[in-house]
Each structure stands twice: as structure tokens, then as C-alpha cells.
Amino acid sequence: MAAVRAEVALQSAQAMNHPSEMGLSQAFLIQSVLGLGKPEQAIAQFDALCKQIDRLMLSCHARTAIEQAARQMQQN
């Protein structure tokens, strides 16, 4: 359920072209996918995130969420 909500949030953020919201939604999607036990899918999402977003354009909150998702991926 959380992954579905994160995907909807990501689509909305992309439609409105809000980099920080896109970063937050991707981070939440990565965390949700990890929670479902799908690390390969989480890595693919993270790779897509890194290609789509300039981290310098993100809010501090979005950067923190992305860093937290990256740490969670390393633990899995």
C-alpha cells in the first residue's frame, strides 16, 4: 500500500515538475520497496532517481530522505 501511494505521489510531483517532491516520493518508494523485500527494484529506483534529479536543487528534507533510503539499501 505504501509503495502504491509513493508511486502516485511521484507521478504527481513529476507532473508538476517539483524536484524536491520528486526526490521525497522516490525516497519513500525506495523505502517501501525495501520493506516488501525487493532490493533489486529499490536499486533500480535509486538509479533512476540519481539520473533524474540534481541533488543540489533539492530541499534539505528531500536530500535527507534520499540519504536515509541509501543507507537502508546498504543495510539490505
pLDDT by residue (tens digit) across 14-32? 999 999 999 999 999 999 9
Q: Which residues contact residue 2 at a Cβ distance below 8 angstroms, ignoring those fewer than 6 apart?
A: 28, 31, 32, 35
All three cell numbers of 70, joined, read 541509501
Q: What are the CA-CA distances from residue 57 to residues 18, 23, 50 (Å)?
A: 10, 10, 12
The grid coordinates of residue 64 equal 535527507
0.85 exceeded by the pTM?
Answer: yes
Checking if the pLDDT of 76 tops 90, the result is: no
Domain boundaries along the sequence of the chain: 2-75
Give me the pLDDT at residue 74, please.
Answer: 92
pLDDT band at residue 41 using 50, 70 and 90 as cut-offs: very high
Banded model confidence at residue 38, pLDDT cuts 50, 70, 90: very high
Helix, strand, or coil (residue 53): coil
